[in-house]
Amino acid sequence: METAFSTEENIAAIASAISPGQGAIAIVKISGPSAIDIVQGIVKVPGNQIWDSHTILYGYVIDKKIQRKIDEVLILIMKAPRSFTGEDVVEIHCHGGLIAVQEVLTEVLKQPNTRRAFPGEYSQRAILNGRLDLTQAEAINELISAKSVKAAQLAMAGINGDIAKKINIARESLLDQLSEIEARVDFEDDLPPLNSQTILSNITAIQENLMQLILDSKQANLIRNGLKVALIGRPNVGKSSILNLLCKQEIAIVTDLPGTTRDILQNEIILGGIPITMLDTAGIRETNNEIEKIGISLSQKILATADVIILIFDVSQGWTADDEKLLQNIPKSTQTIILGNKIDLEIKAESKKADVTISALTGKGEKEMIQAILKIFNATEVAGIQAALNERQLDLVTLAVEALEKIETIAAQNLPWDFWTIDLREAIYKLGELTGEEVTEEIHSRIFSKFCIGK
């Protein structure tokens, strides 16, 4: 990605998802000092329509070289500073699909001083022009990629500035402590002495607030990234039936024949507001069938990558040596639920006590199974989180907390105030980098390279 963003240039991009036959409308967005002139140069607008800010015009995009109508469009005008980027912005609303919108963009890019936008460049210009801070821009990207309603709600909290408010409060408080200390360093003889315990207590309170934000954010990452839940077990214990039950559709083939599932089947579902990838693995057993062996090998690899493993056994057959062998092969660090299936049949007395029992046939026990999955990751507590940091922000707050922790050692050793200022400045800088107060062009480029084109 380019690292230089000149706001003297006009940028253009398709700002909507496009695919053949999908979507009635597609949008080409132009931002820059000549955005209106560019669009006026490629459209024919009948009648006496006025190009005022925040108006919608009707017309045609024209290939003026051969005087051919390319598309019938609506034109939305937003003059600076009342636009997303803070510059003049014009949106051309075309018909959906692939061809028309690409032809419109081609005509736009033929105009002087106009180029394709880089990923995230509209959001970056919004920051440069004071329309957004960095956390709000990142939250927009998170809203676009949200996998659940709760993830979208957390993104909206970021867009509303909730993250920036929390961080700015902490940063301002640290700046207050730093100014008190530096005043004593510079004018020690003219000011009353500071109580180091009072300063340390103030810093500790800020540190604790940041640590709570870190804990909330780590849990909220479940909502953003989701969980990978693998169903494993011997052949014919009901893995595919349970997958179908959770997904509310026939994802997997279900038969009485062992070894039906030969590949890893997966489906995305939402449980308790958390996006979950359900993985139905091949039944693990000794076999001479080469294709089934491949499926079993894949199943064994899943054991090492899943966030949660549901080990299913057949309660009508009881807990077997093969079930125990599977349990022993699960990594000790992986959260595991032992699920007894087929409670609609006669249960063997010697059957192992399961964490949850279910009948995939009747659905009895489904609610308890879902609650067991969500309990592992405190999904109820996650649902109450109102704002959360993304990975970049989380790293920076963690570094800020680590810098503040060093001050405890400095205080315990009765070191001079100059030593306190070093780590205070480091914490303040990291929090400023989070919101964009302290950020380099290189960091900007790295952040926005992860955005989609048109945003």
For the stretch 372-420, pLDDT in tens is 888 887 766 666 777 889 999 999 999 999 999 999 899 889 888 888 9
3-state secondary structure of 265: strand
Sign of the CA dihedral running 290, 292, 297, 298: positive
Residue 275 is predicted with a pLDDT of 83
What is the amino acid identity at position 350?
E
Instruction: Mark whether 103 and 155 lie in a shared domain.
Output: no
The pair phi, psi for residue 358, each rounded to 5°, is -155, 160
Last residue of a domain, which of 103, 130, 157?
A: 130
8 A C-beta contact, residue 136 and residue 60: no
Instruction: Mark whether 122 and 161 lie in a shared domain.
Output: no
Numbers of helices and strands, H then E, in the chain:
15, 13
The verdict on residue 430 lying in a domain is yes
Instruction: Mark whether 201 and 237 lie in a shared domain.
Output: no
Nearest to 113 by CA among 42, 38, 178: 38
State yes or no: pLDDT of 203 exceeds 60: yes
The verdict on residue 351 lying in a domain is yes
* Alpha helices by DSSP H, 118-229: 121-128, 134-144, 149-159, 162-186, 196-225
Nearest-5° Cα angle at 326, 276 to 261: 60
Token pair in block for residue 450: 């992860």
State yes or no: pLDDT of 267 exceeds 60: yes
What is the tens place of the pLDDT at every residue in 334-351? 889 999 999 998 877 656
8 A C-beta contact, residue 2 and residue 443: no
CATH number at residue 199: 1.20.120.430
Q: How far apart are CA 87 and CA 14, in angstroms?
A: 18
The verdict on residue 136 lying in a domain is no
8 A C-beta contact, residue 365 and residue 315: no
Unique residue bearing structure tokens 């009747």 = 362
The verdict on residue 454 lying in a domain is no
What is the tens place of the pLDDT at every residue in 276-323? 888 877 555 454 444 445 555 565 666 777 888 999 999 988 898 888
Number of structural domains the chain divides into: 3
The verdict on residue 216 lying in a domain is no
8 A C-beta contact, residue 315 and residue 351: yes
